[in-house]
Amino acid sequence: MKDQDQDICIVGGAGHVGLPLALAFANAGQRVLIHDVNVAAMDVIKGGTLPFVEYGAQPLLQQALSDERLSFSSDPRDIARARHVIVAIGTPVDEYLNPKLRALLDLFKQLRPHLRASQTIIIRSTVYPRTCRQVEHTTGAS
C-alpha cells in the first residue's frame, strides 16, 4: 500500500454528492481517491463518462482524468492512503424525515480499522447534532 499518496478520499465518491465534490477538489489540484462499493459506476467514471446527469461536470471529469488527479478503489484499506477522508453516503430518513443513522454507523465500523489518527474525517451526509459523538462511541474511535 502506498503511504498517504492521496490528498482526499471520498467515501461514496461515485455518487450524486461524492462525485461532483471529487471533481471540484481535483479541479483545485488535489489528488482524490474515489472510494465506492459501486464498482460499475467507478468503471464508467474511469472511462470518462458520468454515471448520471451533472451539468458542467463532464469537462471537469475529462481534465481530472487527463491530469491523473483521480484514482479509484473499492478496497477499504486504501482509505488509509489519504490525509483527509470525506464520507458522502446517502442517509435514509424515516417517515418523519429524521435521519436513520444505522448505515452510517455500520460504515464507520467497517472503516475504523483503516482510519489513522492523523486523518481528518468529514461527514458530508445528512446527520443531526452529536452524530460524531455517536460514531465515536459506537466504533471506539478517539
- pLDDT, one tens digit per residue, over 71-104 is 999 999 999 999 999 999 988 888 988 878 888 8
> pLDDT at position 140, please?
67
Q: Which residue segments constitute the domains of the chain, with CATH numbers given? A: 6-139 (3.40.50.720)
Report the b/e string of 35-61 with b at 16+ CB within 10 A: bbeeeebbeebeeeebbeeeeebeebb
Q: Confirm whether pTM is higher than 0.75.
A: yes
3-class DSSP state of 103: helix
- Asked if residue 34 lies in contact with residue 71, where contact means CB atoms within 8 angstroms, the answer is yes
Element containing residue 104 per DSSP (H, E): helix 102-111
DSSP of 61-77: HHHHHHTT-EEEE--GG
The pLDDT tens digits of the residues spanning 19-43 come to: 999 999 999 999 999 999 999 999 9
Cα–Cα distance, 8 to 83 (Å, whole number): 6
Residue 52 DSSP label: S
Angle between helices 57-66 and 18-27 (to 10 degrees): 60
Cα–Cα distance, 57 to 21 (Å, whole number): 10
As a whole-number percent, the residues of the chain with pLDDT over 70 amount to 96
Cα–Cα distance, 105 to 12 (Å, whole number): 14
